[in-house]
Amino acid sequence: MRYQFVDCRWELGKPERGRELYLASHIPGASFLDVEGELSAPPGGAEGGRHPLPAADDFARAAGKAGIGSGVFVIAYDQGMTGGAARLWWLLRHFGHDDVAVLDGGIESWLGPLRSGEEAIASAEFAPRPRADDVISAEELEAELGGDLVVVDARAPERYRGEHEPIDPVAGHIPGARNLPYANAESVPDDLVSTEDEIVVYCGSGITACVDILALERAGVGARLYPGSWSEWSSRGLPVERG
């Protein structure tokens, strides 16, 4: 099996920053995938939020260009669990490629040499096999509110409580959701680990929620992603809770 490092660094509101960081310094041999341009589809209005999931064919082209295909084990990294690497981890599994891991601690944990500039990446053929059991739509989520579903909000506590909302038009959270900020995702509460109810995770736009899903997976718990997240929910006039 061949190994392929993939640099997924990004900064919200700075679409060129990830590639700039990659060109300045990256793990030798690593390819680069852009969170906004390749790990997301262009936003198209109220549905799908700021970072909709990419179409299967579009993701397959991007993954193949990055050297990802059959027989390739992917090691994704970012600045240290800022969402990009976990997003690639989730997308690869969503499209049927389970040979993937995330570099714990990000590029700062890498003890080897670094290299600047572009890399000559051998392209591969990525054959997407999309799953349907790892996502939930806004309509499905709204219909299940108040039931046995456990909804987890990965945003910072002040955004969850509705005290500060710098991005989306409405402050607050999905009614009944509990807060597990992605920055503290490794501290998964025991009741989430032991629950027999289904877990759904969302964030602002479906990126950092993947950090929580990865942490839950490491704790032995599966969870579904609500891809549109708060950026979709808050724009559609759906129920909101604060505090």
List residues with catalytic annotation. 203
Written as one letter, the residue type at 170 is V
What are residue 100's DSSP bridge partners? 74
Name the CA radius of gyration of the chain, rounded. 17
Q: State how far the Cα of 109 lies from the Cα of 221, in Å rounded to an integer.
A: 26
Phi and psi of 207, rounded to 5°?
-95, -65
**Token digits of residue 194:** 């032991």
Q: Compute the residue count for the chain.
A: 243
Of 223, 196, 242, nearest in space to 141 by CA: 223
CB 88 within 8 A of CB 77: no
CB 89 within 8 A of CB 100: yes
Q: Which DSSP string do the residues of 100-140 spell out, in sequence order?
A: EEE-TTGGGG--S--B-S---PPP--------SSSB--HHH
